[in-house]
Structure 1
Amino acid sequence: MMIKSEFSDLATPTGVMRTFIHRPADNGSYPTILFYSEIFQQTGPIERAARLIAGYGYNVLVPEVFHELNPIGTVLAYDDAGRDKGNADKMAKSVEGYDTDNAATIAWAKTQPWCNGLFGAMGFCIGGHLAFRAALQPEIKATACFYATDLHTNVIPNQPGQHSMERLGEISGELLMIWGKQDPHIPASGRAQVYQALVAAEKTFTWHEFNGPHAFMRDEGDRYDPQLAMIGNQLALDLFARQLRA
């Protein structure tokens, strides 16, 4: 499908959040995907990944995940300075801010003529975790998490009892969990911890581990694996078709 790209500055309880919108150009009504970036916000690779999903008939919303901590429109570089700033922002943002961001985004999307009221989520790295976090919202029926960092740690949540894994009971939709076996950020023990928790909570999920490094979906840099990226995108599209098209 032909797509169009624009942005809207949304009001949230913690300030204005720029959200990039990639959607079919025919102005029809489609399911909406909350699409979460890495710590660098909407870089070129994230925009291209979002536009790819949009081309299959979805409204893809990419929020600036650290909008409270940066000027509107901030994009961090894939270098040491960008990584350090993004990791500092990750530590600084209140976990409750992600929940209010999600609720505000969903509420706004419901008012748009291009939204048919069906919602999913998708994300990479910290965005994989934030997609998982978005699944706590009752509207989210399908969530694709790519190498989600910190689900097995206490780094992101900074309030007692607010860890994403402690709130599994609030997830009602289907989860797609994709990992790289050579990812140092989520070792085998961490992946096993997440898997066992999902099983114990009797969640509906599929689980895929590939021989790939962290960020193998990012089409920039020497960790990109085009074959794995194609497989990963197809798995996400299959999930969304199954849960948001029926």
Structure 2
Amino acid sequence: MTVTQSSIDLTTSTGTMRCSVVRPTNDGAFPSVIFYSEIFQITEPIARTASYLAGHGYVVIVPEVFHELNEIGTILAYDDVGKDKGNDDKFTKPLTSHDSDTAAIVDWVDTQAFCNGRIGSFGVCLGGHLACRAALHPRVQAAACLYATDIHSSTMPAGTKPQTIEILENISGEIMFIWGRQDPHVSLKGRKLLYSTLNEVNANYTWHEFNAQHAFMRDEGDRYDPELATICHRLTVDLFHRSLR
């Protein structure tokens, strides 16, 4: 399918949140996927991934994950300055504010004729954590979480709710985790902790590990692995086809 892109500004409990919306140009109503970005917000690799997924028959909504902390439209560079700013934002914004962002997107989906009401979540890096967190919302039926940071370590500010790893039993849909074994941000010990917790709460999950570095899906930079990226895109599309159609 060919796709079309637009932007929307949603009202959240913490301010205006701009989202990119990429959807099929075909007539009809489609499942929706909330796509949570890295700490750098909606970069070109994120935008290309959104278009790729939308072309498989999904309305893809990409929020500016740190809209409270930056001017609308802010995109951080893949350099040390951008990384430092993004990490500062990550450790400033509480998870409860991400929860209210998700709720605002779900409410918007329900008003759109081109959305059929079925919702999934997808994310990379920080966004992998947020996709997992979004799966706590009862309307999110499937989540694809790629090299998700800080779930195992509980290092993001939680706000008034527990850390994500403490409430995984509240996820009712199917969830998938994809990891790079050479990722320094999520150690083997951290992956084992999350894996064990998922089993303890009897989660409906799948788990994939590859010999790859952090951000190996990002089609820019030295860590990009096109062959593994193709496999993981297929796993993600298969999950959403299975769970949202």
After TM superposition, is the score higher than 0.5? yes
Asked if residue 79 in structure 1 is aligned to residue 79 in structure 2, the reply is yes
Runs of 5+ unmatched residues, structure 2 = none
Distance apart, 1:168 and its partner CA: 1.1
Secondary structure of 1:68's partner?
coil
2:148 corresponds in structure 1 to 148
Tell whether the 8 Å contact from 1:95 to 1:162 is kept in structure 2 after alignment: no
Secondary structure of 2:217's partner?
coil
1:196 corresponds in structure 2 to 196
- TM-score relative to the length of structure 1: 0.98
2:174 corresponds in structure 1 to 174
How many equivalent pairs are there? Answer: 245
Distance apart, 1:240 and its partner CA: 0.3
Distance apart, 1:95 and its partner CA: 1.5
1:185 corresponds in structure 2 to 185
2:14 corresponds in structure 1 to 14
Matches within 5 A, 1:1-246: 1-159=1-159, 162-245=162-245
Q: 149-158 vs 45-54, which deviates more? A: 149-158
Structure 1 residues 160, 116: CA separation in 2 closer, same or farther (over 3 Å shift)? Answer: closer
CA distance in 1, matches of 2:66, 2:106: 18
Aligned AA (2:153): T
Aligned AA (1:127): G
TM-align CA RMSD: 0.8
Secondary structure of 1:67's partner?
coil
Distance apart, 1:162 and its partner CA: 1.6
Distance apart, 1:28 and its partner CA: 1.5
Distance apart, 1:156 and its partner CA: 1.1
Tell whether the 8 Å contact from 1:34 to 1:119 is kept in structure 2 after alignment: yes
CA distance in 2, matches of 1:159, 1:109: 26
Tell whether the 8 Å contact from 1:38 to 1:124 is kept in structure 2 after alignment: yes
Tell whether the 8 Å contact from 2:92 to 2:157 is kept in structure 1 after alignment: no
Tell whether the 8 Å contact from 2:98 to 2:130 is kept in structure 1 after alignment: yes
Tell whether the 8 Å contact from 1:33 to 1:59 is kept in structure 2 after alignment: yes
